[in-house]
């Protein structure tokens, strides 16, 4: 049955472009603060074409950079609040093992920021994580606060609360152009909208998208192979659904780090991936060469010998990397009512509750709750090079 047609509303307090976890959390904070908010998404939701899909993401307090570690207590609190608001479980505490050579600078910095004294040797680690074989000359540090966020479920929950607070999510509606000004005009495949404030959280599409606003941001989309590895003998590898996550730091054979999560998506399979991928165009991702399976296979054979040495299932996901792998959270240098959140460099999911809060504060012209120097566009020279 077709509902009687109503004239489509076209004016809002704020428009947010991109309904991944960052745009959705930004819209959530705006709606909770009584801003009439329109969240626009090019694909029908839910979808698996950006960076926020799939069932699992690591959440951890351990960061080498203190400015991320400082945000984590508030992130944990806000994730818990979202669980309470929606009556869903979004987090499973498993702990995270950080692994590397003794004295490795990032490992040491994580240990300092965690306030953990103890490093685990091979014997201590195998009691905690029986399926994992640390190699000679390595140590491990345990972040016991860490665990897994149920990603798809989390995205749905944020969008549900956004709508409950009166927010509008229009999906299947791609933004084609932006006309800056005191009132910003946004033209999509289905309509024209106006608002005094705009926030762009377009994931891997952001770099190309903001060129129309005279900005050339150093954002590199990467195609990531998400690999699932099957146990050789069911139940034998000590890799149940509550075994810890892990992340390597400073291993010469895997300079960007290898990470793993317990069996969640596929029973009897562990997710183990390389924290890097092939440069790609998000609309042509399957043309990018598939890399790093050999590197992962060799790692699995040594460190996780209970797993088969070829992935049983492979999916894809996108990173959007900045040169320093820190986020971009800032106002457009020329149009201060346009805010950009991008470059989450493969580690933004856990931080989305605070990222959303910061983008909301920037957009409303408030003093941000955290020091924003690390996220400023001005750290990259020459970004105002394009048109305009």
Ligand X SMILES: Cc1cc2nc3c(=O)[nH]c(=O)nc-3n(C[C@H](O)[C@H](O)[C@H](O)COP(=O)(O)OP(=O)(O)OC[C@H]3O[C@@H](n4cnc5c(N)ncnc54)[C@H](O)[C@@H]3O)c2cc1C
Ligand Y SMILES: O=C(O)[C@@H]1CCCCN1
Question: Which residue is at the shortest CB distance from ligand X?
Answer: 20
Distance of closest approach, residue 123 Cβ to ligand X, in angstroms: 28
Size of the site for ligand X (CB under 6 A): 36
Residue 29 makes contact with ligand X by CB under 6 A? no
Site for ligand Y in 102-161 (CB under 6 A): none
Pick from 318, 329, 358, 362 the residue near ligand X by CB under 6 A. 318
Opening angle at CA 210, ends 205 and 215, nearest 5: 135
Question: What Cα–Cα distance (Å) separates residue 77 from each residue in 23, 80, 284?
Answer: 19, 5, 38
Q: Pick the closer one to ligand Y by CB: 216 or 347.
A: 347
How far is 216 from 167, CA to CA, in rounded Å?
Answer: 31
Residue 170 makes contact with ligand Y by CB under 6 A? no
Q: Pick the closer one to ligand X by CB: 8 or 135.
A: 8
Residue 60 makes contact with ligand Y by CB under 6 A? yes
Distance of closest approach, residue 381 Cβ to ligand X, in angstroms: 24
Residue 256 makes contact with ligand Y by CB under 6 A? no
Please count the helices (runs of H) and the strands (runs of E) in the chain: 9, 20
Residue 50 makes contact with ligand X by CB under 6 A? yes
Q: Pick the closer one to ligand X by CB: 71 or 140.
A: 71
Q: Pick the closer one to ligand Y by CB: 53 or 275.
A: 275
Stretch that binds ligand X, among 63-71, 92-100, 313-321, 367-375 (CB under 6 A): 313-321
How far is 367 from 355, CA to CA, in rounded Å?
Answer: 14
How far is 241 from 261, CA to CA, in rounded Å?
Answer: 9
Task: Compute the residue count for the chain.
Answer: 388
Site for ligand Y in 330-349 (CB under 6 A): 346-347
Look at residue 157 and give its three-state secondary structure. helix
Residue 22 makes contact with ligand X by CB under 6 A? yes
Which token pair is 47? 């979808």
Residue 175 makes contact with ligand X by CB under 6 A? yes
Distance of closest approach, residue 283 Cβ to ligand X, in angstroms: 10
122's CB contacts (< 8 A; 6+ apart) are: 133, 134, 138
Q: Of 134, 300, 302, 132, whose CA–CA distance to 228 is shortest?
A: 300
């Amino acid at each position: 049955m077709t509902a009687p047609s109503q004239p489509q509303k076209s004016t809002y307090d704020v428009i947010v472009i991109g309904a991944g976890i960052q745009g959705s959390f930004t819209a959530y904070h705006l709606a909770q603060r009584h801003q009439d908010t329109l969240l626009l998404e090019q694909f029908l939701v839910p979808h698996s074409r950006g960076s926020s899909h799939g069932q699992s993401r690591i959440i951890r307090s351990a960061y080498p950079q203190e400015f991320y570690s400082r945000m984590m207590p508030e992130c944990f609190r806000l994730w818990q609040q979202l669980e309470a608001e929606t009556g869903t479980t979004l987090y499973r505490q498993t702990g995270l093992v950080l692994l590397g050579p003794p004295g490795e600078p990032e490992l040491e910095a994580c240990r300092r920021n965690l306030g953990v004294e103890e490093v685990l040797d091979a014997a201590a680690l195998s009691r905690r994580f029986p399926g994992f074989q640390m190699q000679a000359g390595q140590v491990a540090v345990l972040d016991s606060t860490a665990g897994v966020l149920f990603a798809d479920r989390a995205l749905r929950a944020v969008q549900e609360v956004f709508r409950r607070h009166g927010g509008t999510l229009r999906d299947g509606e791609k933004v084609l152009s932006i006309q800056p000004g005191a009132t910003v005009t946004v033209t999509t495949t289905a309509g024209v909208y106006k608002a005094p404030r705009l926030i762009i959280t377009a994931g891997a599409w952001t770099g190309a998208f903001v060129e129309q606003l005279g900005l050339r941001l150093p954002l590199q989309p990467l195609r990531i192979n998400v690999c699932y590895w099957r146990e050789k003998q069911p139940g034998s590898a000590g890799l149940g659904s509550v075994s810890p996550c892990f992340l390597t730091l400073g291993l010469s054979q895997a300079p960007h780090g290898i990470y793993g999560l317990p069996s969640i998506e596929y029973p009897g399979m562990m997710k183990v991936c390389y924290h890097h991928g092939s440069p790609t165009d998000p609309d042509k991702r399957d043309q990018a060469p598939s890399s790093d399976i050999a590197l992962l296979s060799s790692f699995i054979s040594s460190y996780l010998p209970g797993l088969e040495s070829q992935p049983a299932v492979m999916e894809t996901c996108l990173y959007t990397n900045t040169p320093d792998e820190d986020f971009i959270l800032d106002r457009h240098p020329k149009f201060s009512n346009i805010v950009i959140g991008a470059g989450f460099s493969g580690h933004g999911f856990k931080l989305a509750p605070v990222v959303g809060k910061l983008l909301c504060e920037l957009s409303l012209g408030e003093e941000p709750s955290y020091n924003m120097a690390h996220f400023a566009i001005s750290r990259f020279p020459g970004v105002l090079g394009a048109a305009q």
